Amino acid sequence: MKILMAGCGNMGGAMLESWRALDGFDFTIVKPTPKGLPQDVTYRANLDGLDAASFDGVILAIKPQMMAAVAPAYAPYLKTEGLVMSMAAGVSLATLERYFPERAIVRIMPNLPAKIAQSMNGLVANAQTQEAQRALADRLADATGAALWVASEDHLDRLTAVSGSGPGYVFYLIEAYLEAAQDLGFSLDDARTLVFATLKGAVEMAATSDQNPAALRASVTSKNGTTQAGLDQLMAEDQLKTRFKATLNAAYHRARELSQGG
């Protein structure tokens, strides 16, 4: 399976770390920054000398503002039944179809944990994408973490608000949790041990339990106990839920603005 990759920046490089472990895949990277990138793939300064219609996939790992200038040059190198996969946020399927007419196109929205092969990837396909091309997109996405197909680009914008931007929300929660633990007298090292182990255990339990999060919360909350005292503050007037809903809505509307060229 021959894959031609345009660019290899921060996110593209993170994804490539997982992709290069796939059996039967051969990656050619154009205009990379070789320093720090793996040496078991092919790097090229340009497209000169490549055979036309010789690649099973083209991955666009370039900045959205570069798309119009860069993407069209890659179309001749894709097989007729090949797949175009774009990682560029805000660049619509309709725009990509102008550069790759009558081709299967998938937009993928990864997130930062791709750096540790734990990405949550959202995918949406155009009408030309068939089962075999979706299977290729699945293999690439699954190699970097988890994948969820959505029905429309609007849903991809909604997914961006939840998982694409989501690590930022979690990192802020960790930041606040660590500060609070240190305020109680723990060193930063001890606070990290307590907070990370608590979060990891609670998330794993919630992910694997048959009970919903509300039931799990109730199971650890004794009447008039310490957890209840803490939750009375955290849950006061449902402020946390209200702020979280506002957070996702703000991120979604910004994603929509970017998709519409805003």
What is the extent of the structural domain holding 198? 166-258
Are 22 and 107 part of one and the same domain?
yes
Number of domains, the chain: 2
Are 12 and 123 part of one and the same domain?
yes
pLDDT at 260: 81
Are 83 and 209 part of one and the same domain?
no
Task: Tell which of 83, 117, 151 closes a domain.
Answer: 151
pLDDT at 180: 98
Task: Tell which of 84, 119, 151 closes a domain.
Answer: 151
Q: Are 145 and 119 in contact (CB under 8 A)?
A: yes
Mean pLDDT per 10-residue section of the chain, whose length is 262 residues: 93 92 93 73 92 96 93 97 95 96 97 95 98 97 97 96 97 98 98 98 97 97 96 94 96 90 64
User: Which secondary structure element, helix H or strand E, spans residue 170, and what is its range?
Assistant: helix 166-183
User: Could you tell me the CATH number of the domain that includes residue 171?
Assistant: 1.10.3730.10
156 belongs to a structural domain: no
CA 70 to chain centre: 22
pLDDT at 262: 56
pLDDT at 179: 98
Task: Tell which of 126, 151, 176 closes a domain.
Answer: 151
pLDDT at 258: 86
Are 90 and 178 part of one and the same domain?
no
Are 175 and 134 part of one and the same domain?
no
SS (H, E, C) 38-67: CCCCEEECCCCCCCCCCEEEEEECCCHHHH
The CA-CA-CA angle for residues 181, 182, 188, to 5°, reads 105
pTM, whole model, 2 decimals? Answer: 0.91
Are 27 and 81 part of one and the same domain?
yes
